Amino acid sequence: MKTISLVGSTGSIGKQTLEVCRKHNIKVKALAAYQNTALLENQAREFLPDFVCIYDKELYSDMCKRLSDTNIDVVCGMEGLCRAASLNDIDLFVNSVVGMVGLLPTLTAIEAGNDIALANKETLVAGGQIVMSSAEKKGIKIYPIDSEHSAIFQCLQGNNPKQLNKIILTASGGPFFGKTKTELENVTVEQALAHPNWNMGNKITIDSATLMNKGLEFIEAKWLFNVEPDNIEIVVNRESVLHSAVEFDDYSVIAQMGTPDMKIPIQYALLYPERVSCDVKRLSITDYGTLTFAKPDIDTFDCLAGCIKAINLGGAYPCIVNAVNEEAVALFLSRKISFLKIGELVKKSLDYFAPMPSKSYEDIKKAEILARDFVHNEINF
């Protein structure tokens, strides 16, 4: 029987991870959530972990009360996330928190010698260099849970990674595919939250609408698969059926397909290398008839252009654009800035900041704080 610990358990990926655990009898030793105490309580009563972590310290006493009739310990804050990451009797640490808050738990899991199933893309965007080098040193495996990166990982199975010539990273194009900047001026929060193919949390849904998500995945792919940015091509597949592809040195292209459902990549990461029945709709290619492919519009979608520029500039720039975006998305969701302002801020931050290093966690933390301050100064709070 496999044993995991899971942080971000009440989010979209977290809930689906627990569906996979339920189906395949995977033991869960720790659960962590940001603020959803009610759902965390239900999950704890069903999966009976050793402890739960409620990240928001204000909710700690509420969480303790909820579980006071059980033997389940309650912890809180970053310390709690890192405790879940460093458990010594788990097979896999599943990191599905949203945002840069996921970086320290990832590094902690690596230090503790735990393999990682990674749904927290900001971990690699902000800390790609230190995460990959410390994982290599410790011999830690990182299984991607993002659908595109899982696809790439699956396409590489049985092949020599040194003969990987190019990655074809697919994108759905989001709800605003084909739109001009003028048409995007008055986009509302509700419009941006209506994604055509994928059902996801708020932050990633906005990132999909701005194409920031694809930019973050571009950076994530560079680190996970050790390819140069020039060898990653972004292709829009409107149907979200072809989840990414790889080209080898002989120009053979291998792709992975399936219905757009995160349970496939989650289950593959949790049960790797097993391929067993998964509770998803099966793909019928003839139901689609045609699959369409197009180039992304990097002139309209500033966030995507910003991420590509950031990874080419290197250093702390990817961390900066990520932190700027996190702040900007929060401001957009609370209706304080416009949709297009998110991309403007991301782009502007690249010109504003001089190069900074990203060789240690402290370097990254420093760049992150400066980037968040930059947004608030720009918006004049």
Residues in contact with Mn ion by CB under 5 A are 146-148
Amino acid, single-letter form, for residue 361: Y
Please, what is the minimum distance in Å from the beta carbon of residue 199 to Mn ion?
Answer: 13
Strands 242-248 and 164-171: antiparallel
Q: Classify residue 140 by burial, with Cβ atoms within 10 Å: 0-12, 13-18, 19+.
A: buried
Please, what is the minimum distance in Å from the beta carbon of residue 355 to Mn ion?
Answer: 29
The length of the chain in residues reads: 381
Q: Considering the complex, state which of residue 84 and residue 307 has its C-beta at the smaller distance from Mn ion.
A: 307
Please, what is the minimum distance in Å from the beta carbon of residue 353 to Mn ion?
Answer: 27
Where would I find the beta strands (DSSP E) of the chain?
3-7, 27-33, 51-54, 73-76, 92-95, 116-118, 142-144, 164-171, 232-236, 242-248, 253-257
Query: How far are the Cα atoms of 38, 154, 329 from residue 114, in angstroms, in the given order?
Result: 29, 21, 32
Q: Considering the complex, state which of residue 147 and residue 256 has its C-beta at the smaller distance from Mn ion.
A: 147
Please, what is the minimum distance in Å from the beta carbon of residue 172 to Mn ion?
Answer: 9
Token pair 């240690």 is at which residue?
360
Both tokens assigned to 282: 């099966």
Q: Which residue's beta carbon is nearest to the bound Mn ion?
A: 146
Please, what is the minimum distance in Å from the beta carbon of residue 10 to Mn ion?
Answer: 20
Q: Considering the complex, state which of residue 16 and residue 147 has its C-beta at the smaller distance from Mn ion.
A: 147
Is-contact 375 328, C-beta < 8 A? Answer: yes
Q: Considering the complex, state which of residue 63 and residue 100 has its C-beta at the smaller distance from Mn ion.
A: 100
Please, what is the minimum distance in Å from the beta carbon of residue 31 to Mn ion?
Answer: 23
Please, what is the minimum distance in Å from the beta carbon of residue 148 to Mn ion?
Answer: 5
Amino acid, single-letter form, for residue 194: A
- b/e per residue, 162-198, with b = 16+ CB within 10 A? eebebbbbbbbbbbbbeeeeeebeebeeeebeebebb
Strands 73-76 and 51-54: parallel
CA distance 208 to 327: 16
Q: Considering the complex, state which of residue 127 and residue 265 has its C-beta at the smaller distance from Mn ion.
A: 265
Q: Considering the complex, state which of residue 114 and residue 147 has its C-beta at the smaller distance from Mn ion.
A: 147
Please, what is the minimum distance in Å from the beta carbon of residue 217 to Mn ion?
Answer: 5
Q: Considering the complex, state which of residue 147 and residue 349 has its C-beta at the smaller distance from Mn ion.
A: 147
CA distance 70 to 297: 53
Q: Considering the complex, state which of residue 72 and residue 241 has its C-beta at the smaller distance from Mn ion.
A: 241
